Amino acid sequence: MRYRTIGTDPGTRREVSVLALGAMLFGSVTDEETSFAVLDRYVEAGGNFIDTSDNYAFWTDGGQGGQSEELLGRWRRSRGTGDEIVLATKLGARPLAPGTDYVGNPEGLSAKVIREASERSRERLGVEKIDLLYAHIEDRTVEPGETVRAFAELVAEGSVGLLGVSNHAVWRVERARALAAAAGLPGYEVLQYHHSLLRPRSDVPSGLFPEGGLGAATGELVSYLGAEPGLTLVAYSPLLGGYGRADKPLSSDYDHPGNAARLAVLRDVAKETGATLNQVVLAWQIGGELPVIPLAGASSVAQLEENLAAVDLELTPDQRARLDAAH
């Protein structure tokens, strides 16, 4: 396993594996035995960066989520894991009532919610301190300053380490970070967005993000990341559910000529390396110039093994240049 530093403050920064494990469906779609097996193998391979959210996976049973955090708590207790595991979770997108969702009825990012939701997450996870806590989705009903101060209070109290943000417009991320800096408070240092080799159409608003797919790592976000060396991008859904799966074709959001060109180059590089399409995509992210940590889930140990093998896959400068240039 290889590792990367997230965060800049010596008191809160952490060394994390270059491949993060997504636990979104653990405890719901993925049963406990399988979830534990995947977690155990990930840690055995040197992985230490596990990602979840307080609302995972509310859509599987019409509830409000919490299954993933609860499973991770049971796994931690049964295995006796400690500070070597970096747990990241998110708040703000938990449905306020069963049978609803976070598009129309999210908990939001008020100071009250941030404190109460973080306490619930710590209890479910069985930890005194959340290593990395994200603002999951935007809440434009709350002033950014209130959210910034509420997160900073948790860091000052020692119940949260690093702060992150996902699925926000770049200008709102910058505004929140500027407010935190001006007040001498800790700000967002980890950005979590959807990022992969294939890119969604920018002219089709996403159902989850009606304003135009704020969940995707746009060119503007990548530019911002490059201009702010203290930031790290955690890329969720890097494999789009599995590259090249005949049983799971790409959605229409990815149907455009640019992606056809990218897929052609990807297939060529996979043949040259003897690796799978998934492994090439992960290696492309892990070894790039920008600090990107792919966040990939796994519903079986076999899937995880495929992903882990990508950590040691070295693309040549020519292969990387061709993947970067394809459009």
Which residue in 56, 134, 188, 224 is the catalytic one? 56
Are the C-beta atoms of 148 and 185 separated by less than 8 Å? yes
CA distance 297 to 306: 12
C-alpha separations of 204 from 147, 248, 256, 269, 280 in Å: 30, 20, 12, 30, 27
Q: Which residues contact 112 (CB under 8 A, 6 or more apart)?
A: none
Spatial separation of the C-alpha atoms in residues 242 and 187, rounded to whole Å = 34
Burial class of residue 128 (count of CB atoms within 10 Å of its CB; 0-12, 13-18, 19+)? exposed
- Is 56 annotated in the active site? yes
The answer to whether 284 and 320 have CB atoms below 8 angstroms apart is yes
The three-state (H, E, C) secondary structure of 152-181, written as one string: HHHHHHCCEEEEEEECCCHHHHHHHHHHHH
What is the C-alpha to C-alpha distance for residues 81 and 83, in angstroms, rounded to an integer? 7
Handedness of CA 315, 321, 326, 327 (dihedral sign): positive
Catalytic residues: 56
